[in-house]
Amino acid sequence: MVLVLHATTTNKNAFKALITAEYSGVKVELTKDFQMGVSNKTPEFLKMNPIGKVPVLETPDGPIFESNAIARYVARLKPDNPLYGSSLIDFGHIEQWIDFSATEIDASIGAWLLPRLGFRLYLPPAEEAAITSLKRALEALNTHLASNTYLVGDGVTLADIIMTCNLSFGFKYILTKSFTSAFPHVERYFWTLVNQPNFKKVMGDFKQAEAIPPVASKKPAQPKEAAKPKPKPEPKKEVKKEVEKPKEVAAEEEEAPKPKPKNPLDLLPPSKMILDDWKRLYSNTKTNFREVAVKGFWDMYDPEGYSLWFCDYKYQDENMVSFVTLNKVGGFLQRMDLARKYAFGKMLIIGSEAPYKVKGLWLFRGTEIPQFVMDECYDMELYEWTKVDINDEAQKERASQMIEDAEPFEGEALLDAKCFK
């Protein structure tokens, strides 16, 4: 039985079915000369999928659309296919990672990339949210892969095929090395999979994006004017080429850009404390840190324009592995990127043996923790937050010690100290 897959040769969603077929010994053929925007608009194609989405699998029993459903169908054509694991719990975990790949990885990559290529409306706040969501997902994936070669079990499963194909879209077009280096286990996993023979047979040689594509510009049409005498010819100017858009991405209509809403913190009365000045002092102080930087902080601090907060991780007993604890804190700081303009933070990982303690000190613009940070950074709920009373000398001294990474801290050695600035 030969199955016919309607898609282009570069469609990462088509790759899911083709790689699954290689592992399963199933014959799947791509239609020849498939053209996006042409082949998928024909009456024959729309009969198989009324909204014209690609890919579609043509089977003897009827067509199937949606790439993950197609991959599942192909896998199940082989009885007891190891791509679905060897137990019911394996099956559940495979389905879990397939859903995670679709809703957390693929959706976030698309929300970041497609507006830059001109297929969706580009809005900076939406891009920031997409990047934050993607970093959160990759951090979770990175933590899982720190102790697992594959997503489920000891070999390739359908979850790995779908995850790798979704990651490939990002690695190819927008996830540069400088971005992915923060997730070393994801990098190792991705390059291991794309170089497996069955993957390479379908995907070919793979090259990572070298730069984030610029935002595509759309020039408005110029109104026609009355004919004018032709001017003398001028030397030809070099025409800049527009960024090439992936052929497999279906174009969507753009709307007029909307003005970026102001952050409520930008509307606060001016503060005598200039956050960038403090960050510069912190970064440039190399000696006499307590006398220069810490003293400078308290001289600058404005309790009417800023607030200081202690944070303590709620689940310290879970911090049994040092590198997992460090990754957890690193992921939190990455997800706080959305507040970089309005915050400064110190995170201490405390202890010479497990369980490690995670505690921090944060400076926020405004007299309360900004609501948008509480809403958009899920890590905030993992910590107990206590406002620093600067009139309490003990609390003020504790804050000073956290700023300067004093060791021992509260009687214990520091495993590491991380700064957000």
> What is the per-residue pLDDT across 44-83, written as a single tens digit (0 to 9) for each?
999 999 999 999 999 999 999 999 999 999 999 999 999 9
d(CA 272, CA 32): 67
* Stronger pLDDT, 107 or 261, i.e. the higher one: 107
d(CA 48, CA 18): 19
Mean pLDDT on 231-235: 56
Instruction: Report the pLDDT value the prediction gives residue 248, as an integer from 0 to 100.
Output: 54
* Torsion angle of the four alpha carbons 151, 114, 135, 130, in this order, in degrees rounded to the nearest 10: -130
d(CA 81, CA 23): 9
Instruction: Report the pLDDT value the prediction gives residue 235, as an integer from 0 to 100.
Output: 55
Instruction: Report the pLDDT value the prediction gives residue 230, as an integer from 0 to 100.
Output: 55
DSSP per position, 294-359: IHHHHHH--TTTEEEEEEEETTGGG--SHHHHHHHHHHHHHHGGGGGGGEEEEEEEE-SSSSPEEE
Instruction: Report the pLDDT value the prediction gives residue 237, as an integer from 0 to 100.
Output: 53
> Do β-strands 27-30 and 2-6 pair in parallel, antiparallel, or remain unpaired?
parallel
Q: Give ∠ CA 198-76-54 in degrees, rounded to 5.
A: 70
Checking phi first, is residue 317 left (phi over 0); if not, alpha (psi -120 to 50) or beta? alpha
Instruction: Report the pLDDT value the prediction gives residue 252, as an integer from 0 to 100.
Output: 36
Weakest mean pLDDT among 155-164, 228-237, 366-375: 228-237
pLDDT tens digits along 353-372: 999 999 999 999 999 999 99
d(CA 199, CA 202): 5
DSSP per position, 39-95: GGGSHHHHHH-TT--S-EEEETTEEEESHHHHHHHHHHTSTT-GGG-SSHHHHHHHH
Instruction: Report the pLDDT value the prediction gives residue 321, as an integer from 0 to 100.
Output: 87
Taking alpha carbons only, the member of 108, 167, 114, 112 closest to residue 134 is: 108
Cβ neighbours, 10 Å, residue 312: 13
* Stronger pLDDT, 247 or 198, i.e. the higher one: 198
> What are the C-alpha distances in Å from 228 to residues 222, 231, 236, 288, 407?
16, 9, 20, 73, 79
Mean pLDDT on 314-328: 88
Mean pLDDT on 311-319: 92
Checking if the pLDDT of 302 tops 80, the result is yes
Percent of the chain with pLDDT over 70: 89
d(CA 404, CA 293): 8
Task: Give helix 158-173 / helix 88-100 axis angle, nearest 10°.
Answer: 20
pLDDT tens digits along 249-297: 544 333 444 555 678 899 999 999 999 999 999 999 989 999 999 999 9
State the pLDDT confidence band at 125, using cuts at 50, 70 and 90. confident
Checking if the pLDDT of 223 tops 80, the result is no
Taking the model in full, what pTM does it have?
Answer: 0.56
pLDDT tens digits along 16-46: 999 999 999 999 999 999 999 999 999 999 9
Mean pLDDT on 119-140: 92
State the pLDDT confidence band at 232, using cuts at 50, 70 and 90. low
d(CA 373, CA 379): 10
Q: Which residue has the tokens 């201490």?
A: 348
Q: Which residue type sits at 79?
A: P
State the pLDDT confidence band at 323, using cuts at 50, 70 and 90. confident
Domains detected in the chain = 2-76 (3.40.30.10), 86-203 (1.20.1050.10), 267-420 (3.30.70.1010)
Instruction: Report the pLDDT value the prediction gives residue 276, as an integer from 0 to 100.
Output: 94
Instruction: Report the pLDDT value the prediction gives residue 231, as an integer from 0 to 100.
Output: 56
Whether 328 contacts 415, CB under 8 Å: no
Whether 190 contacts 171, CB under 8 Å: yes
Task: Report cis status (omega within 30 of 0) of the bond before 214.
Answer: no
Mean pLDDT on 322-335: 88
Whether 190 contacts 167, CB under 8 Å: yes
Task: Give helix 67-76 / helix 12-24 axis angle, nearest 10°.
Answer: 10
Whether 254 contacts 121, CB under 8 Å: yes
Mean pLDDT on 384-393: 96
Weakest mean pLDDT among 50-54, 56-60, 179-183, 378-382: 378-382
Instruction: Report the pLDDT value the prediction gives residue 2, as an integer from 0 to 100.
Output: 77
Whether 50 contacts 56, CB under 8 Å: no
Instruction: Report the pLDDT value the prediction gives residue 312, as an integer from 0 to 100.
Output: 96
Task: Determine what percent of the chain falls in helix, strand and coil, rounding each to the nearest 5.
Answer: 45, 15, 40
- 412: β partners: 409
Checking if the pLDDT of 226 tops 50, the result is no
The per-residue pLDDT of the chain, averaged, comes to 89
3-state SS assignment for residue 258? coil
Whether 166 contacts 12, CB under 8 Å: yes
